[in-house]
Structure 1
Amino acid sequence: MENSSYADALLADIVRAEAKTGRLYIFLGMCPGVGKTYAMLQTARQRMKEGVEMLAGIIETHGRAETAALLEGMRMLPRRKLEHRGFMLEEFDLDAVLLQRPEIVLVDELAHSNAPGSRHAKRYQDVLELLDAGIDVYTTLNVQHIESQVDIVRQISGVTVQETVPDSILDRAHEIQLIDLSVEKLLQRMTEGKVYLGDRAEEAMSGFFKAGTLTALRELALRFTAERVDRDLEDIRRARRISSPWKTNARLMVGVGPSPHAESLIRWTRRAATRLNCPWLVVWIESSPSLSTQDQERLTRALGLARKLGAEVISATGENVAEALLRVARERNVTQIVVGKPEKRLWWRASLADQLIMGSGDIDICVVRPAASAEKKSGTGPRELLPVSVIGEYSWALVSVFVIASLCWGIAPHTGYMFVALIFLIAVVLAALRFGRGPVLAMATLSALCWNYFFIPPQFTLNISKAEDWIMFILFFIVALSMGSLTSRLRMREVAERRRASQTDALLRVTQGAALSADPAKGLADALRCINELLHAHTALVIRENDRSLPQAAHPASSFQPSAKEWGVIAWSYENKQCAGCHTETLPESAATWFPLQTATATMGVLGVHLDDETRLDFATRQMIEAFALQLALVIEKEHFVQAFSHAEVLAQSEKLHRTLLDSVSHELKTPIAVMQASLEAMEDIQSPYLTEMRTATRRLQRVVDSLLQMTRLESSALHAHHDWCDLRDVIADAQQTVGAALETHPVRLHIADDLPLLKIDFTLLAQALTNILHNAAVYTPPGTEIDLHARLQDQRLRITLRDHGPGLPPGAELRVFDKFYRAPGSPAGGTGLGLAITKGFIQALGGRISAHNHPEGGAEFVIEIEPISQLTPPVERVFQLVPNE
């Protein structure tokens, strides 16, 4: 059966084996110098004594001798060298770690910013990729680098921290260890030169390292760790179904806009949601005309921060911000709204906080004082010029007043000056239907002054003596303000509705074009053309193959073809299911922004959008592109399912025939083989080379038949594990004996922990699995090469590692070696290619998993992990039970 078949792709998408995700261990401190790196290295050396494979990815000793001493004897990763502006920079080599795949890698300074040219802008993104690859990571972090704590740290120390990590990284941590040190001891270490050296130490003690600042940072670190413990305790209580009086169903919401305080409010809400362990929302209300470039960038940055911190971001429209926020809050069952404290109150207008309090009802309003913004302290920068459309409206208003005044000058002696006032007033009303509030107010002011100066007796003065003239004069401004405000609201609503209708129409056109077209290729071409017209951009679509690999060229409907450099970005976005490229923090030097076509079951490809150099990818545009990507992904997935379903019945019949043939052939061969073996045993006393060859061929044929029977049992789901107490040494000895003569020229070196307890496991299944791996190692390695077998308990899991010293696995064969009937190029003659496939089935029946890769020092290495292990109290000491995952 071919791997590229639709059924295999569909089965791999829906019933994919759960990949091992790496664990993150964070050593948290209040500031530099408390001993985070030292504690991390001590823990790493202790794990090395337990046999754990450790790699020091990047360690910053800062010239501390005691820290450098702990690196002796530890495998170090060479740093990657990058040239930037004539300087040679050294960075963490992510690709080298992914290639070596150690059990644990040490990555110091999690908040570090990578040098330009690196794959990721931040080191924590490197760590996330390592975790997704199944590699455990030890790392260090100071509390002031946590994104939600930035405002508090700025208030404490007066320093704005630029290198930060999102709080979601800490949510992924398996363990956070607080490295605490008293302020007195830390200052003593500073004086002794154990934190910074030379002039740098004196600058630190006169600046950041003050007793008051350090005390506040220590309290912040302790509080943050305590909140983490509270959340862990609540998770335990919830898992054990223990009722808790402090259990909460709170939901927080904060409204943001293009304000310098928006990021501060978002961080405050994140901290509050963390303490309450509840979901939180960030809402943006579109209630004003189009934003300036500076405001748009500020809003995009704030909403991007909210998404990075784990908030659900919602956009809504409304004429009144307070009413829109309350409407969203009631729709989303929000219990508490966070709003910033107004800096000053205006007697003629209620603040946003006051409006929310008056209309909130049973929703709590939390009014907080946002931290001072660094942007506000440094000024808002140069003012932007008025847009051309606004200048044109003011010009038309002024010209209109001049024309009306000229025309009325000739008719005023015949009609009277009150008729002129009505003409001016009608012109203001008509202008209000076309222009904005500012131009209308300017026109009303100029019209009132012209009417007063040129037409009200006495002319050419600004004196008004009659009450009715005063009323008409004031009426100009009342009409201008009311009509201008009404027109502005209607225009804002019209623009918002037109934009929303345009987006909805484009989304509908994309969906209809791609989903309803009889020709899938033409449908995708129509969809991409709609996206290009709406965004004024160029797009490229890369659809995965049926074997889940990416093609070497973009879809023919693409309006631009990716360069060779872009394909690396495409592959990363596809593999990691994240946006990458331009306007992102991952590979930002790319020319386009790449969005994965992600559905609930699989990633169907990647969509690339190349915007003009002057166009920025703001939050609204990004949301729109993500919606397009989702629709394209669903359409492609539907087509994939349709094609797979059309092959399903044929493949099902083929599988049924395949199993029937395997079962019948294996059973039909059992009797002749048994007769042959009995005959050969009867002639055991006869010494003949022909009989020796027959015995070898019979054993080989028996092994083939056993493999066919075992594969039939696996595919028919008739295999069940039967657990009993056994010694792993006995299991390994039985496997060696079963392999027999094939191991005579391959010494097997056993490395089994002395304290390995008895295990409750299926003796036969594990022995047969080890037999197949040992036989595979004996067949595919030259005579005389050794085989190493390690076994130990690690994190309550049985871990068995078997490594040969042969040529290793061919490139790309790490996963295919477990496929049925797969034989690597250059394999010896004979064999069915079922041994490792059967081994994988046995290990899965035991509730474990098996993987294969090449050892960095040569040879192939197979790793078996069986979990979970729960300790019991049998008649002997140190006994664990291994049972399959439920």
Structure 2
Amino acid sequence: MDRGQLRVYLGAAPGVGKTYAMLAEGHRRAERGTDLVVGYVETYGRPRTEALLEGLEIIPRKTVVHRGAAFTELDADAVIARRPQVALIDELAHTNVPGSANEKRWQDVERVLEAGITVLSTVNVQHLESLNDVVREITGVPQRETVPDQVVRQADQVELVDITPEALRRRMAHGNIYPPEKVDAALTHYFRVGNLTALRELALLWLADKVDDQLEAYRADHGIAGTWEARERVVVALTGGPEGDTLIRRASRVAERGRGADLLAVHVTRSDGLAGTADPAHLVRQRSLVESLGGTYHQVVGDDVPTALLDFARGVNATQLVLGASRRGLLGQLFTRGVGVDTVARSGSIDVHLVTHEEIGRGRRAATHEGLTHRRRLAGFLLAAGCLPLLTFALADLRGRLSLPSDILAFLLAVIGVALVGGLYPALAAAVAGFLLLTYYFTPPFHTFAAAGGTNHLSALVAFVLAAVAVSAVVDVAARRTREAARATADAAVLSTLAGSVLRGGLSSSAQGGDRVLDTLLERLRETYALDSVTLLEREPGTPLTPDRQRDPRSWRVAAYAGDGPLATPDEGDADIPVGEGLSLVLRGHPLPAASRRVLEAYAAQAAIALRQQRLEEEAEEARPITEAERTRTAMLHTIGHDLRVPLATAMEAVARLSDPEAAPRGSERARLTSTARDALARLDRLVGSLLDVSRLRAGTLGTAPQPLAVEDIVPRALERLGPSDHRVDVRIPDGVPELLADPALVERVLVNLLSNARHHSPAGRRVRLTAGARADRVEIRVVDHGSGTHPAQHEQTLRPFQRLGAEESRTGAELGLTLARGLAEAMGGTLVPAETPGGGVTMILSLPTAAPAR
């Protein structure tokens, strides 16, 4: 059976018209004769949406009972049993009621699709898993219901239901989305123009990425290798040289000219793993620059650079390629055309920009690894000096029994041996010396440098020298490559360790402070090279870089260090690695080889990035209280504007009816209105008092008078103040609970708030339980309810000031009461933390110090 197709209507926010568009498409298909049913559609009481349900077959929903309450959900089994051609199933990200066959509705939709039924569904951009955190940062509202991006990306069709923020706000104001009493709050919070504009952009960008995926899949399926300029993509090629910064900025400007263009940087490395001319420090810095400009960094392997660049560019469907002009001199350009010219010749439909820079004509700075050590070269010279005379003496005794070619082969073997030990230069010296010895002792006439054998002897001797030079050159190149490979392997191991240290430091930085990454980095560098001290120095702002200032400790300040102690100036170290214009990595312990400087520069560049990240985290930490205060202020204004208005409006309405001379209510009606006004004003008084108390707590002006108190004396007073209720409180206080040290009035208010909150959430017939016990030098009072509870990840959020727990929380001041309870507990030296109740619900744990140590 073929799998059904999935069509998703994607919206930026509630109310844009996703369900309306889905139902309209359902009517169009039904009119064309398609067998179509409505599996699940949520109209939210919107008249125009409800009108579109008329004339469509609706599959009855199934009822799921959870904790004594009945809920309706999609009946996927009934849809599959009905076997229509198309099913309309709303709200793809919906979380099913516990007890359902699947946790998420998209899983039910998967079952329907597997049955060969086409599904039309809807989802908002804030419910996409990858954008959940971004939406929360924009709107301040966490989304508990999410759907994996892959589910929507794999849909056969995704249609964006778009509407401008202004039009959506007008639709909201006309009452077409939410009831009138919710319109003001929605317009001033979630449905602000800025929020809606950001959500709209997120939806457009997400859909653009899906369209890109579809385009790439189409090009791959049809074998299309050419570039389709559907979207500008600019690729900049980096060699690892200092000119890369100029190229990146130029490519960024090219990308900015085409709005929405992607910027990609690519570096081609050799397949043998050798470093070549690339400088790791430059690449680290340039990668950071690319990412700061909104681009991405890539690294590919290839021995033919033009081919590798163009393969990458065509693979990402790039439209423009930015290269730097050749750094080679005129002599070098006479022998090869260069990467730029070859790339232009093969680029085809890709535009290639050759950018001039300050490094033109300075040549490539090749790696300076020597093939062999000085000790081995000296050993080669000594071997030549000792071996050739001995070989001459031995062959002289055998002059009558060996021919000249045999003598030449013996000397050739000696030269090869010298080449294997000492490389090119000792072998070259041995070849010349062997040539002279052969000519003098073994070529007639003997004991003269004149060869009587004619061209044959002379050709043999020249061939001997050329063979000796060639063999020694090959040995020297092999030794050089071996050392380069060993150096590259060592550098790779060090850099791998560096990356692992940064990663581990980054993972722990959130828990141990932002400076953990930088400290780990410097300590790893010190351990790797066995140094005494590693210091990252930062030049004081405004200090010019002169020799005198370089040595003046007042010109520098220590940003971070590892080891014995920090250094005050760069001159105090054995090595100094400048990083940009204001930083310097100073090393002390022992001199380091020049070959290590490339890796040291990579360390220095990474240290600069870590320092910048640390500074950004410090700035973010400094701004967090301001952000929190702003969030609290905004939420408090909402609380005042909404929560105060409800009891105030209730009281005003009751008073107006009591004072209306025409209505003149009497008897029970007058008593009811009077009671309503009294309750509303009392509710208003409690809320205003809580707001004032929270303000005093935040300002630190709430005084306390702690004294020894017995738990069994406090709880009855709190229950009496709580008043009668349908929920009875089951109090369990064992004997031997020590007295606690607290303010009587404050601890009573805390218990009243906790019990009131627990009663509100407990279902009918379930008691609220209050228990007490001692733990070390603390007394713990637990208030337990068996309500619907919250997810453990949301527990802490319930105690934040002015934090609403969800759309269903319509009571006034309950969340403020929990905030006030925590603040009062902390003011008395205690704590208040939520925990999950076994079997469902939330347990609030109030911990206060004991009046005397427990015995």
TM-score under structure 2 length normalisation: 0.34
- Return the index of the structure with the highest Cα Rg: 2
Query: Comparing both chains, which one has the higher relative contact order based on Cα–Cα distances under 8 Å and sequence gaps of 6 or more?
Result: 1
